[in-house]
């Protein structure tokens, strides 16, 4: 087993290499793009969920009401009315 001091140095060396590689390969741009595209995909997934819930419940209006009720719990400014 390695002494704790050497182990900590190894961990810091790996973290420094990972951070340098992240910056060298423009990790911030890739992270921003992934966040943007995942945010854009939320709306179609929501509509798909309402469609499937409507098929399960047999009534799309009821499915939309259930989805709206759930959404109002997540988004404070979303009104169910």
Q: What is the pLDDT of residues 4-28, one digit of tens each?
A: 778 888 999 999 999 999 999 999 9
Quick check: 49 and 67 in contact, CB under 8 A?
yes
The predicted model gives 64-81 an average pLDDT of: 71
Q: Residue 17 corresponds to which tokens in the numbers above?
A: 């290499």
Q: Calculate helix-pair angle for 60-74, 27-57, nearest 10 degrees.
A: 140
What gap in Å lies between CA 59 and CA 81, rounded to an integer? 19
59 — phi, psi (to 5°)? -145, 115
Q: 42-68: per-residue pLDDT in tens?
A: 878 888 888 888 888 787 777 777 777
């Amino acid at each position: 087993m390695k002494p704790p001091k050497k182990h900590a140095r190894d961990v810091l060396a790996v973290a420094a290499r990972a951070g340098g590689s992240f910056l060298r390969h423009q990790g911030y741009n890739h992270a921003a793009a992934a966040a943007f595209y995942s945010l854009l995909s939320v709306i179609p997934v929501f509509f798909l969920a309402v469609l499937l819930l409507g098929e399960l419940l047999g009534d799309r209006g009821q499915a939309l009401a259930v989805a709206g009720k759930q959404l109002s719990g997540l988004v404070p400014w979303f009104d169910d009315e």
